[in-house]
Structure 1
Amino acid sequence: MSQPFSAATGTTYTLCVFTENTVGLLNKITILFSRRRINIESLTVSETERKGVSRFTIVIQHEIREEVEKLVRQIRKVIEVLAVFGYLNEEVVYNEIAMFKISTLSGAKPLDIEVINKIYKAWVVYWGLDYVVIEKTGSLPEIHDFFNYIKPYGILEFVRSGRVAVSKSSKSLDDYLPEAEWEYYL
């Protein structure tokens, strides 16, 4: 199994795009990246605290900051986009989630749950008859380190989420989108 981690170079940018929740918007946004030949390293979309407002968290690596700034300006022109922010890693708090399905068949190398929990801060979230599922949250290097640790045990499946991130700024979504009366989730 090859290692499922990016080998891209350049500066890492996290783009946070707040949008109306409409059909086809994902395509409108991702095509802007394709046209500029910028690869999306990870993409996470979810609802925000405001009903009807979605948040796209898009991670890219690119060498030329001016091209990223042009991309952000282009995204802002999409009608359904309410706000767009570009951040460097030090400007956001972020994490990812990874899940590992590991064989526990007889004859397999026994797992050291204490090392998994205490050293790697990972947790068994499902224990089946012949496999376990372990969840690891953290930065990409932390997940990569755990991947290398757990690989000799026999990874049956591996999946990693996109980045979830919030700005280190004290501002909230209300500071950027105050003009309308929004319905909030309770």
Structure 2
Amino acid sequence: MTTYTICIFTENTIGLLNRITIIFTRRRINIESLTVSETERKGVSRFTIVIKHESREEVEKLVRQIRKIVEVMAVFGYLNDEIVYNEIALFKISTPLGSKSLDVETINKEYKAWVVYWGLDYVVIEKTGNDTEIFEFFGYLKKYEILEFVRSGRVAVGKTEKGLVEYLPESEWAYYL
């Protein structure tokens, strides 16, 4: 199976997420991750959807169907080597008195992860990277008591020189200040 990242630029409209996800459901395509955020343009949202699928043709059909939604301004499908992407993960690790102490130097230097919260009996560690890097760090942390683990969806930008500006005329949209 091949991993595809689909980036959808839309007007910020109520119910749009449902209309987009129904297209995946009807085609029996599972969404691996979904991230929705504002863009640099006011009133424009970006959906970043990750799927795994065997057929490039089916993914291209999916993209064409999404383009038909009125509020959709642009849709792009990417393979992993065509984008720069990351995820964020938070790990809550138990640190009661007498427990195995964390090797913060290894966490920082080898895994490029950071303690973002120190509690009395636990710490929260943040790790950014791709899913392989995050799960490698997860494997390292297994020797400690992991109380909670949460991982965001993918955020990505294309490696092309073009950005949103080229697809949406400047006069139509205001930038955030």
What's the TM-score bracket when you normalise by the shorter of the two chains? over 0.9
Matching residue of 2:21 = 30
Deviations 1:153-182 (A, max 9, x none): 011000000000000000011111127521
CA distance in 2 between counterparts of 1:17 and 1:134 reads 31
User: What is the TM-score normalised by the length of structure 1?
Assistant: 0.93
Residue by residue over 1:110-145, the C-alpha shift from the partner in whole angstroms, topping out at 9 and shown as x without a partner, is: 100000000000000000000000000001000010
Q: Given residue 20 of structure 1, which amino acid in structure 2 is its aligned partner?
A: E
| Higher deviation after alignment, 170-179 or 35-44 | 170-179
Q: Structure 1 stretches of 5 or more lacking a match?
A: 1-9
Deviation at 1:107, TM superposition (A): 2.9
2:152 paired with 1:136: no
Partners of 1:179 and 1:64 in 2: CA distance? 36
Partner of 1:4: none
**Aligned residues: percent identity?**
78
Are 1:110 and 2:94 an aligned pair? no
Q: Aligned pairs, how many?
A: 177
Query: In the alignment, which residue of structure 2 is the partner of 1:13?
Result: 4
Gaps of 5+ in 2: none
Determine whether 1:61 maps to 2:52: yes
> Counterpart of 1:77?
68
In the alignment, does 2:131 pair up with 1:147? no
Residues in 1 aligned to 2:172 and 2:31: alpha-carbon distance in whole angstroms: 33
Between 174-183 and 31-40, report the one with greater CA deviation.
174-183
Runs of 4+ in 1 over 2 A off after TM superposition: none
Say what the alpha-carbon RMSD is for the aligned residues: 0.9
Aligned residue in 1 for 2:147: 156
Bigger mean CA offset, 168-177 vs 84-93: 168-177
TM-score, normalised relative to structure 2: 0.98
Q: Which residue of 2 aligns with 1:6?
A: none
Check 1:89–1:22 CA distance in 2 against 1; reply closer, same or farther (3 A cut).
Answer: same
